């Protein structure tokens, strides 16, 4: 069952990447005309309490004040009527000005501290990065 879900997620990600690539194929976009979006989806373990979920949300939302490389941050919970979230309940979008900023963020001590907090509470996580115009 898990392998089937993973295959479906991979198929969706590949299709989205193809669409993004096709949409930008004819455009001459300069690197400084783009932003890097880092999308993170969480599926929490069944035994994680609402207070523990809120602690994760608060810790993630605090990262922009601790890591200068983050240009923007937003988050929300699934409200789709399509019933295709596959157990993912919380989505986060972290925006960077460059891949170098993202590369600074990932090993940053504050990010690592956050990963240690969230890791034991997560059943599944999906991370998807893409470029967009400013």
Q: Are 45 and 123 in contact (CB under 8 A)?
A: yes
Question: Which helix (DSSP H) or strand (DSSP E) does residue 43 occupy?
Answer: strand 34-44
Catalytic residue among 24, 38, 90, 108: 108
Q: Are 93 and 130 in contact (CB under 8 A)?
A: no
How many other C-beta atoms are found inside a 10 Å radius of the C-beta of residue 32? 9
Q: Is 105 a catalytic residue?
A: yes
| Size of the chain, expressed as the number of residues it contains | 134
Q: Is 130 a catalytic residue?
A: no
Catalytic residue among 90, 105, 111, 130: 105
Strand partners, 36: 96, 131
Positions marked active-site: 105, 108
């Amino acid at each position: 069952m898990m392998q089937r879900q993973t295959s479906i997620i991979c198929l969706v990600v590949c299709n989205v990447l193809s669409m993004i690539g096709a949409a930008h194929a004819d455009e001459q976009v300069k690197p400084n005309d783009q932003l890097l979006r880092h999308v993170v989806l969480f599926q929490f373990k069944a035994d994680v309490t609402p207070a523990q979920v809120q602690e994760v949300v608060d810790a993630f939302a605090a990262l922009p004040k601790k890591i200068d490389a983050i240009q923007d941050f937003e988050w929300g919970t699934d409200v789709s009527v399509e019933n295709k979230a596959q157990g993912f309940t919380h989505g986060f979008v972290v925006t960077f000005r460059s891949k170098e900023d993202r590369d600074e963020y990932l090993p940053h001590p504050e990010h690592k501290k956050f990963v240690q907090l969230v890791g034991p509470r997560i059943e599944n996580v999906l991370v998807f990065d893409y470029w967009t115009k400013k």
